[in-house]
Amino acid sequence: MLIKSLICLIALSALPEVHDDQTSVDELSSPQTTVASIRNLSDAEANRRYPVQMKGTVLLATPSSFVFHDGETAIWCERPRTDDESRIHLSAGMTVEIKGQSNRGHNAPLIQCSEVTVTGTGELPVPRKSSFSELQSGVLDCQWVTIDGVGISAQQGNFLQMAGTSVVVSTFGGKFFFNSTAVSPEMMESVIDAEITVTGVCLPRFNNRGNVLDSDIMSCVSDGLKITKEANKNPFESNKVTLGSLFEFSPVWSPTHRKVVTGTVTACEPGHQIFITDGEHNLRVIPQTYDIFKIGDVIQCAGFLEMEENFPVLRTSIIQTIGSDKPPEPSSVTPDSVLSIQLLAPNSDQRDHQAGLVRLSGNLIAVEDQLGKPFQLILDADGSLVPVTLASFQPPRQLRKIRPGSTLEVTGICSIRTSDRPEVNRMLRAESFEIRLRSPQDVTVLSTASWWNATRLLLLLAGTVALLLAALLVIFWMRRRIAQRGSELAEARREKDALELVAATTKQERTRVAADLHDTLEQSLAGVALQLRAIETARSKDLADRNLSLATQILSQSREDLRRSVWNLRLTDSGVTLLREELRKTCLAIFSVTPITAEVGGRGEERKLDVLTTDNLLMIAKEAMTNALKHSSPNHIQIDVDYTADQVSLCVTDDGCGFDADRVAGTHQGHFGLTGMQERVRRIGGELMLVSNPEHGTRIEVTVPR
């Protein structure tokens, strides 16, 4: 009793929990009225398509979707799937009522709307003041945010099926894109280097796995971009810095405005990059235009500084020439002097050669000339492999003709590759470097490699071996061709013999058919003629009727004999090679109108025989069955085809009256049946055995080796 009471108490205590679970399910099954309830769903829960009914404000609208804010938070909504003419117009600030269901989306829960009703126009919510780190984390997905920064560049673009302006904004911590459909082309220039405040919807970018990559801000409202401090009208009046003072330490953060640097051009790739130097420090400059500058020109560059692979780069640069100087002299370097630099050593007097003009000597190891890739020379300098790249994709012929093993002196811009992160003791090291040629004239051949080298010797040996193999292949091919031709001639000879055999067989068969017709049809017609003549001379009606009945019987028997003769004339299709199946068809045709039963069987798995063997065995069996039908009056005929590994045998047995094998009629008596069988057996190289005794039936067996 105590145990039963405990069980009841446990069951009663579990009832409220079941009720609570049911309540939570009912709550989710009822229409959701807050965005937070949808955003907090997992992917699996959002995919259950819970009903949604909410009121709120549109923050951003595209042709196929919009961002909806319910007063607390925002979410991405897919518009009802209708044609363009029936789709209602939405814009930021409209108040709407939506109905639909939840969906997991690609990366975050969203609402699949089935109905959107515009109820009026309201005010946009107060934007959230955000930082760059919050923006890039992805937690502000679809939220209305604002952030301060400096405009780096602006250009026309197309995003979310809408044309607009894309502004690169630099802020504390990094850069992001501000995309707006309300920034006019005239405003683009005034944005660059100006301090701005941008307001809009945070839209993270995700990869195919749903991982957050970064975030942009997009807005469709006119005050989404506000200039808080205008830029200098003359870019070259911006803050001037020297090449040796780039990214100097400062305890006070300031917006990333343009910087102006001055230097002498050491290399110029129009529209791609320009390299300058002040004699000690070097800098890579990314220009805005495709202007060409000569080596030795002194230029001013106004642009935005960035760190790229642990070295400074000046991007989005406006450039002007302020003078000219003699072309800078390259620094003679070795791999050790380039790679031994300690990039994190404070106040180091050791000079780095990044983006600087250098000169290096080494032995040519290989020439890389691949379609669609820059032309490269691989040098061995003091045991280190150094790639030497030509900017042009179409190098002159003289560079392609340089032999590996030659000693070269190359001049170009040094590009250092560093480790991905600092090593022990914060020592960031250079891992490798390459040299970028300015023109083919930057390559000087100090000594030419001998034409006869190990590579050519190997090629000669390989060519000799190839010739020997080719000769062997030709000999082998000729022998195969001779053997093949011999086989063709032998096959032609066999075909000729087969045709001669077929002709002889046809002649013999015609002789047999003639004899068969003579024994059956001609004699039957003669008997009918005699009976008809007897009818003419009959003295009484009874005698005439009896003679007419005999004539009718003779004609019926003649018709059966003629049918059997026709079946004997019939040949099998050359494509039929299964003997048992063909014998079954033959038995059905011959004995279907007779009381005689015929059965086809045998031992061994049925296999295909050659056409000559199949045809002759079939004709022998037909002759045996016809003879039994004509002469033995059997009740049952058994046909067996036995297959063994080395032979095939045919056996036809009947239970008829039999005959004396020693006294059987032959060709001299006008009967050709058994003689024809013997000829067919000899034709296929087999053996014939005939066993028959009066009143004990007949057995004919043919054995043919494989």
CB 95 within 8 A of CB 118: yes
Residue 276 has pLDDT above 60, yes or no: yes
Residue 109: band (very low, low, confident or very high) from pLDDT cuts 50, 70, 90: very high
Tell me what percent of the chain is helix, strand and coil, each rounded to the nearest 5.
35, 35, 30
Dist. CA 407–CA 584, nearest whole Å: 90
Which residues are bridge partners to 158 per DSSP? Answer: 163
Three-state SS for 463?
helix
In this prediction, residues 523-549 reach a mean pLDDT of: 71
Residue 379 has pLDDT above 70, yes or no: yes
Residue 561: band (very low, low, confident or very high) from pLDDT cuts 50, 70, 90: low
pLDDT at 550: 66
Residue 567: band (very low, low, confident or very high) from pLDDT cuts 50, 70, 90: low
Which residue has better confidence, 499 or 511? Answer: 499
Percent of the chain at pLDDT above 70? 83
pLDDT digits (tens, 9 = 90+) for 191-217: 999 999 999 999 999 888 878 889 999
pLDDT digits (tens, 9 = 90+) for 297-339: 999 999 999 998 889 999 989 999 999 999 999 999 999 989 8
In this prediction, residues 425-449 reach a mean pLDDT of: 87
Three-state SS for 109?
coil
Q: Are strands 375-381 and 407-418 parallel, antiparallel or unpaired?
A: unpaired
Out of 71-80, 450-459, 586-595, least confident range: 586-595
pLDDT at 449: 84
In this prediction, residues 529-540 reach a mean pLDDT of: 72
Structure tokens at 180: 């707006």
Residue 573 has pLDDT above 50, yes or no: no
pLDDT at 99: 95
Dist. CA 559–CA 289, nearest whole Å: 107
CB 98 within 8 A of CB 88: no
pLDDT at 28: 57
pLDDT at 671: 45
Kindly list the distances between the CA atom of residue 91 and the CA atoms of 82, 87, 112, 246, 679, in Å, as whole numbers in the listed order.
18, 13, 18, 45, 103
DSSP string, 466-481: HHHHHHHHHHHHHHHH
pLDDT digits (tens, 9 = 90+) for 43-67: 889 999 999 999 999 999 998 899 9
Residue 420: band (very low, low, confident or very high) from pLDDT cuts 50, 70, 90: low
In this prediction, residues 244-265 reach a mean pLDDT of: 87
Out of 91-95, 114-118, 184-188, 432-436, least confident range: 184-188
Residue 410: band (very low, low, confident or very high) from pLDDT cuts 50, 70, 90: very high
| pTM to 2 decimal places | 0.60
pLDDT at 310: 85
pLDDT at 381: 94
Residue 457: band (very low, low, confident or very high) from pLDDT cuts 50, 70, 90: confident
pLDDT digits (tens, 9 = 90+) for 660-671: 766 654 444 434
pLDDT at 661: 64
pLDDT at 24: 43
pLDDT averaged over every residue in the chain: 83
pLDDT at 652: 93
Residue 400 has pLDDT above 60, yes or no: yes
**Using N-to-C axis directions, what is the helix angle for 579-591 and 541-569, rounded to 10°?**
170
Residue 476: band (very low, low, confident or very high) from pLDDT cuts 50, 70, 90: very high
Residue 22: band (very low, low, confident or very high) from pLDDT cuts 50, 70, 90: very low
Residue 5 has pLDDT above 90, yes or no: no
pLDDT digits (tens, 9 = 90+) for 614-664: 878 888 888 888 788 777 888 899 999 999 988 999 999 998 888 776 665
Kindly list the distances between the CA atom of residue 304 and the CA atoms of 150, 235, 368, in Å, as whole numbers in the listed order.
10, 11, 35
In this prediction, residues 501-523 reach a mean pLDDT of: 65
Amino acid at 601: G
Dist. CA 551–CA 64, nearest whole Å: 99
In this prediction, residues 596-606 reach a mean pLDDT of: 89
pLDDT digits (tens, 9 = 90+) for 131-167: 999 999 989 999 999 999 999 999 998 888 889 999 9
Which residue has better confidence, 20 or 122? Answer: 122
pLDDT at 15: 35
Please tell me the total number of residues recorded for the chain in this structure: 706
